[in-house]
């Protein structure tokens, strides 16, 4: 692994918290992600299932975790299964985790090869009456490709039809929404790497540069700093592309007078940063561009102040809608009288600000969580207001990563330049 080792106590604590929610006489199963094929004999880079990583710290395919708090044999209360390895496999594929390696990383003392799973699982199921199965229940999940967890669910229900079944997804949403200090440290590190990339590209951006050249500079800085790369597909959108919310072609040439919207973040130890900055390609905002930019920045500053324990996403978004309306009226994009008479279910500001302002951030960029849950200390949210004026080719989004604490919001990306004047100064020096 490229990232520095993580203390196994993080994963021990995570499993301890999960066990508190499991019913008596139950066994919980978590599978790693598959290695996804391309074509011929090609494969995509492996990305671990984030629930499994959260509970074990194991970053290798063909891994299974069993948690059985009431197992008769104490050594079976936590079991890790990893893929078999030997010297011949290491010659072809490189060094894989040994049982000793896996125990050290995870804090789990009982480690078997994955080939032993069926035998041991049947033994534990016979002792217990309930099986917890893991599924991806993210509201925006694409479940077209069947996962190992999904295949296992089908097999398990066929093999053990008389057992009771429960879902671990609601439990993982609850646990993962509040980050521990060790997790916050990993997210902060990903943010610090992202800062280095942003400062690097400020000296590169100019008319004539291609969007993919700027992306290359970002990825270089990520890899140089122990990141495995981008936490998500970067958006490097100049000109009219800045008004396309999920623009990822990154194949246009930057033109003098254009804005360049860049939404990118480093992944570090599987944890994500998620940052957006919008800059003038030639190093100077026009008056109109700066007016819009500062309007977005004012909305963001107000929004960050609302990321406090006790608030809710519903109340938060409602308040931000009012603030955005006032800014859009001041920019002559909305009419005050029309706003006063607008339908509540179709606010007019949505023409220029059509996406949500915040989402959970952690092991996943759009991390798991309950949108109806009251904000708590330890939650990490993005804060990303934007204004998109397509007929003026002005798309501006500003995004920071915010930790909620009992003493007020903490900006994990506070060192990434954000004020318009500072950005201009850095680009022209």
Phi, psi (rounded to 5 degrees) for 46: -75, 135
Q: How far apart are the C-alpha atoms of 106 and 55, rounded to whole Å?
A: 8
Cα 262 off chain centre by: 17
For residue 355, the tally of other CB atoms under 10 A from its CB is 13
Q: Which two tokens stand for residue 253?
A: 């040439």
Contact 113, 82 (CB under 8 A): yes
Determine the Cα–Cα distance for residues 348 and 33; give it in Å rounded to an integer: 42
Token pair recorded at residue 224: 């140089």
CB 129 within 8 A of CB 116: no
What are the Cα distances from residue 55, in Å, to 30, 32, 105? 9, 11, 11
Candidates 379, 393, 387; CA nearest to 308 is 379
Q: In angstroms, how far is CA 69 from the centroid of its own chain? A: 30
Residues catalogued as catalytic:
41, 246, 263, 274, 355, 359, 366, 384, 388, 397, 399
């Amino acid at each position: 692994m490229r990232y520095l080792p993580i203390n196994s106590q993080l994963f021990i604590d995570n499993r301890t918290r999960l066990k508190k929610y499991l019913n008596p006489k139950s066994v919980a199963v978590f599978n790693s992600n598959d290695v996804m094929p391309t074509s011929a004999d090609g494969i995509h880079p492996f990305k671990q299932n984030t629930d499994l990583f959260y509970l074990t710290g194991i970053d290798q395919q063909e891994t299974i975790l069993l948690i059985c708090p009431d197992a008769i044999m104490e050594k079976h209360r936590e079991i890790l299964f990893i893929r078999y390895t030997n010297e011949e496999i290491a010659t072809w594929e490189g060094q894989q985790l040994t049982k000793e390696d896996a125990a050290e990383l995870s804090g789990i003392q009982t480690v078997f090869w994955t080939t032993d799973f069926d035998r041991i699982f049947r033994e534990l199921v016979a002792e217990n009456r309930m099986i917890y199965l893991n599924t991806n229940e993210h509201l925006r999940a694409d479940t077209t490709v069947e996962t190992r967890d999904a295949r296992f669910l089908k097999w398990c229900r066929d093999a053990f039809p008389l057992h009771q079944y429960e879902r671990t997804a609601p439990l993982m949403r609850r646990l993962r929404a509040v980050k521990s200090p060790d997790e916050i440290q990993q997210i902060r590190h990903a943010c610090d790497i992202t800062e280095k990339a942003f400062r690097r590209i400020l000296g590169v951006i100019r008319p004539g540069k291609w969007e993919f050249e700027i992306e290359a500079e970002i990825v270089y800085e990520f890899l140089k700093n122990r990141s495995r790369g981008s936490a998500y597909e970067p958006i490097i959108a100049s000109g009219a592309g800045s008004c396309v919310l999920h623009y990822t072609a990154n194949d246009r040439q930057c033109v003098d007078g254009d804005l360049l919207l860049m939404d990118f973040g480093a992944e570090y130890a599987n944890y994500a940063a998620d940052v957006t900055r919008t800059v003038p390609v030639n190093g100077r905002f026009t008056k109109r561009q700066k007016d819009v930019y500062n309007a977005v920045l004012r909305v963001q500053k107000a929004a960050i102040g609302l990321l406090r324990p006790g608030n809710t996403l519903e109340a938060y978004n409602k308040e931000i809608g009012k603030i955005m309306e006032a800014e859009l009226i001041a920019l002559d994009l909305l009419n005050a009288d029309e706003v006063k008479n607008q339908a509540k279910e179709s606010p007019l500001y949505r023409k220029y600000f059509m996406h949500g302002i915040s989402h959970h951030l952690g092991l996943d960029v759009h991390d798991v969580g309950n949108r109806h849950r009251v904000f708590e200390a330890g939650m990490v949210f993005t804060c990303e207001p934007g204004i998109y004026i397509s007929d003026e080719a002005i798309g501006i989004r500003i995004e920071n990563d915010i930790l909620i604490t009992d003493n007020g919001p903490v900006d994990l990306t506070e060192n990434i330049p954000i004020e318009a004047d500072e950005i201009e100064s850095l680009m022209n020096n």
